[in-house]
């Protein structure tokens, strides 16, 4: 079995599907969207816990940036729904760097050297001198990956599915009852 394989089991899906088919399309879509949101929120919650456990919470901006989104255009155009769990926004622009890491890089201006410290002429006023030679470049080792979204998905997939099923199990009968009460 592959390392990143996610195995998910749902019991009673046929029954849920049969019940969903009794609902008007718009209400069915709203119910499915809400159910998917509850499942994705489970995974988001795990991602937030992982960030805290790894000590990556200073401002809380990254945790607050973890959100569920839907593309309504795709929904109306193709008739299917895709929920997305996203991390990062204008404030937490570094989410992808934390998840995937970054390569080493050098700060400094102008040099033909790739993956080697920049060779620059020293500026007497601004340069640092070490053992008589001027240093005007900084070697940054890069950022080690500290994934929080992928492991959250791996460990939370079954919990997310269970949350979707639980939401629908409660929501469908409640919705049908409400519709019948309103004369549908």
Residue 19: both structure tokens together:
């019940």
Instruction: Give the global pTM.
Output: 0.71
Give pLDDT tens digits for 5-21: 445 555 666 777 777 88
Give pLDDT tens digits for 30-79: 898 999 999 999 999 999 999 999 888 889 999 999 999 998 887 777 77
pLDDT range class, residue 118, cuts 50, 70, 90:
very low
CA–CA distance from 46 to each of 9, 21, 51, 93 (Å)? 20, 32, 9, 20
Report pLDDT for 24: 86
* Contact present, 85 and 70 (Cβ < 8 Å): no
Q: How far is residue 77's CA from residue 113's CA, in Å, rounded to a whole number?
A: 50
**Token pair 């991390």 is at which residue?**
87
CA–CA distance from 125 to each of 117, 128, 135, 139 (Å)? 21, 9, 12, 21
């Amino acid at each position: 079995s592959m390392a990143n394989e996610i195995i998910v089991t749902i019991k009673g899906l046929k029954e849920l599907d049969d019940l969903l088919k009794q609902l008007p399309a718009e209400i069915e879509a709203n119910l499915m969207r809400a159910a998917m949101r509850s499942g994705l929120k489970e995974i988001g919650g795990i991602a937030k816990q992982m960030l805290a456990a790894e000590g990556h919470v200073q401002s809380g901006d990254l945790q607050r940036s973890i959100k569920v989104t839907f593309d309504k255009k795709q929904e109306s155009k193709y008739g299917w729904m895709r929920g997305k769990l996203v991390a990062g926004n204008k404030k937490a622009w570094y989410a992808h760097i934390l998840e995937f890491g970054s390569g080493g890089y050098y700060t400094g201006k102008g040099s033909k050297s790739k993956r080697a410290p920049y060779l620059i002429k020293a500026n007497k006023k601004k340069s640092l001198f070490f053992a008589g030679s001027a240093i005007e470049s900084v070697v940054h080792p890069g950022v080690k990956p500290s994934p929080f979204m992928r492991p959250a998905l791996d460990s939370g997939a079954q919990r997310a599915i269970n949350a979707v099923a639980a939401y629908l199990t409660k929501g469908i009968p409640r919705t049908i009852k409400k519709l019948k009460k309103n004369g549908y």
